Amino acid sequence: MLGRRAYLKTSGVAGVAGLTGLAGCTLGGGGNGESGGSGGGGSDTITIGGTVPRTGQFSSLGEDLEQGYRIGVDLMNQNGGIDGQTVELILEDDESDPKKVRSNLQSITSDNDVDMLWGSFSSLLVTAGSAFAEQQEIPFVGTAFAYMAPHIEKNYRWTFAPMAKSRDVATATAGMLGMLPDDQQPTNIGIWEPNTGWGEEQSNYWDDALSSAGYDIVLRKKYSLGTQDFSTLISQSKSANVEVLLSVPTPPGAITAMKQMKSNDFSPKAVQFVRGADPNAFWSALGATGEGVTMCPGWVPGLTGNGNDTLQELHARAYDYPDDKLLPVMVGSSFNVAQVADQAFRAAGSTDPGALREALRTTTFETVLGTFGFEDNGLPEEGQLTAPIGQWREGGQHLAYPDTEGDAAVDFEYPLTPWSER
């Protein structure tokens, strides 16, 4: 049985624009190309373009990302659409390749009068889409993108990222560990740092936040993102007596690392693999070997308010999803993008790019992730979004932080059961 926590309600917002009127909703989607509409960009149509990784290294998350987008658009089109305009969504497979992201977006915008672009998965693909949008001056909204440096270094004007960022992930990690009783508090933190810009950024934020909270960073080692051999890192972590292991591997890398940690009998008390443990493929490949691993994917079942109940109902109706199966995390993250778009179009009262950008910069949004606004460079306002942390428990991703009254929320399992006792 999963433990339950003391309840702490996180959002008092009862109603969200565009999230009412479920009765009679006809849902669909999936497949390739357009969802509704007949040609992009007519006067009665709002056209949104984007790419998703249906194939390639991030394909395990592509279907979930697309499902969240499509049920969001179906909801936007209820009750006559947005001010009488039907929303059309055009999505193409980017094959998990940033070059394909750009070529697909070029094709979509050449053939259609596109009013907004939506991102793919991971900083690798999202930044490729945002670079195109910045050049073309088209409003761009992308989730699954915790990397902060591009917002700051490139001074984004057209790109907006409605999700918790690296600084928020680090704060949440410290908050989750801080919930533990004094006699269970860990001391030694280990960081496996991918040799990427985001790997360094997230490691820096973890280092600062956890050191400030009184934990010792006893190991911080770099590795190549595509490595298939974690034996040296495992040996170094065992020697340093790492109790809490943190990293941002790819999903294939996370699966490989967990298998090798088990075969080398490295049993940290907690493992947080941001990005790597996000997809259901993580559990499918590992089963109980993945039990207790945490992730920070943007949205996790167990969050409450701001349309979370509606999200569950819409997805179950559209995709015949079992009531007893938790929603994939990326569905909620991408549905949140559609909520932002819906509220931005309504606030702008126009599809004019400048008016839409101003609405994105000045509106306070209420989505399944919380209530927040954007800084001028497209980052969420600092401190407004709590990064939700999920934990794999009995084959499902449950909210372990923050505390909520959601049915899928659980007590953070700590310490993890050693391999020898599983």
- Is there a domain that residue 13 lies in? no
Structure tokens at 7: 């309840």
- According to the model, what pLDDT value does residue 8 have? 27
Q: Three-state SS string across the chain, please?
A: CCCCCCCCCCCCCCCCCCCCCCCCCCCCCCCCEEECCCCCCCCCEEEEEEEECCCCCCHHHHHHHHHHHHHHHHHHCHHHCECCEEEEEEEEECCCCHHHHHHHHHHHHHHCCCCEEECCCHHHHHHHHHHHHHHHCCCEECCCCCCCHHHHHCCCCCEECCCCCHHHHHHHHHHHHHCCCHHHCCCEEEEEEECCHHHHHHHHHHHHHHHHCCCEEEEEEEECCCCCCCHHHHHHHHHCCCCEEEECCCHHHHHHHHHHHHHCCCCCCEEEECCCCCCHHHHHHHHHHHCCCEECCCCCECECCCCHHHHHHHHHHHHCCCCCCCCCHHHHHHHHHHHHHHHHHHHHCCCCHHHHHHHHHHCCEEECCEEECECCCCCECCCCCCCCEEEEECCEEEEEECCCCCCCECCCCCCCCCHHHC
| pLDDT computed for residue 244 by the predictor | 98
Q: What is the mean pLDDT of residues 70-84?
A: 94
140 & 210 share domain? no
Looking at the predicted structure, is the pLDDT value of residue 7 above 90? no
Strand partners, 85: 82
Same domain, 109 and 96: yes
The verdict on 224 and 255 lying in the same domain is: yes
Q: Tell me the C-alpha distance between 36 and 40, whole Å.
A: 10
Query: Which of 29-33, 193-197, 296-300 bottoms out in mean pLDDT, i.e. has the lowest?
Result: 29-33
- What's the N-to-C CA distance of the chain in angstroms? 16
Is 96 within the bounds of a domain? yes
Q: Do residues 227 and 202 touch, judged by C-beta distance below 8 A?
A: no
Residues 259 and 290 in one domain: yes
pLDDT value at 33 more than 90? no
Instruction: Say if 10 falls within a structural domain.
Output: no
What was the pLDDT predicted at 176?
98
Looking at residue 15, its pLDDT comes to 33
Q: Are residues 89 and 198 in the same domain?
A: no
Angle at Cα 169 formed by Cα 164 and Cα 175, nearest 5°?
Answer: 120
In a domain, 2, yes or no: no
Neighbours of 371 (CB within 10 A): 17
Q: What is the mean pLDDT of residues 92-118?
A: 98
Tell me, yes or no, whether 44 and 188 share the same domain.
no
Domain count, the chain: 2
Query: What confidence tier does 322 reach under pLDDT thresholds 50, 70, 90?
Result: confident
Residues 78 and 187 in one domain: no
pLDDT at position 325: 86
pLDDT of residue 28: 34
d(CA 94, CA 101): 5
Choose the weakest-confidence range: 40-54, 271-285, 321-335, 399-413: 40-54
User: Token match 């991971």: residue?
Assistant: 122
Query: How high is the mean pLDDT of the chain?
Result: 90
Nearest partner of 272 among 186, 350, 355, judged by Cα:
186
pLDDT at 140 (0 to 100): 98
Environment class of 281 (CB within 10 Å of its CB; exposed 0-12, middle 13-18, buried 19+): middle
Amino acid at 66: E
What is the predicted pLDDT for the residue at 184? 96
What is the percent of the chain with per-residue pLDDT over 70, rounded to a whole number?
Answer: 90
For residue 38, is pLDDT > 80? Answer: no
Specify if 406 maps to a domain: yes
Chain centroid to CA 198:
15
Residues 366 and 405 placed together within one structural domain of the fold: no
pLDDT for the residue 132: 98
Contacts of 183 (CB under 8 A, 6+ apart): none
94 and 74 both lie in a single domain: yes
Which residue range(s) make up the domain with 255?
166-295+388-421
Is residue 8 included in any domain, yes or no? no
- 152 and 114 fall within a common domain: yes
The pLDDT of residue 302 is above 60: yes
- 4 falls within a domain: no
Q: What pLDDT is recorded for position 42? A: 47
Predicted local confidence at residue 39, as pLDDT: 39
Are residues 415 and 318 part of one domain?
Answer: no
Supply the CATH number for residue 62's domain: 3.40.50.2300
User: What is the tens place of the pLDDT at every residue in 219-270?
Assistant: 999 999 989 999 999 999 999 999 999 999 999 999 999 999 999 999 999 9
Kindly state the tokens that stand for 18.
């565009």
Give domain status of residue 17, yes or no.
Answer: no
Q: Tell me the average pLDDT across 185-200.
A: 97
Do residues 40 and 143 both lie within one domain? yes
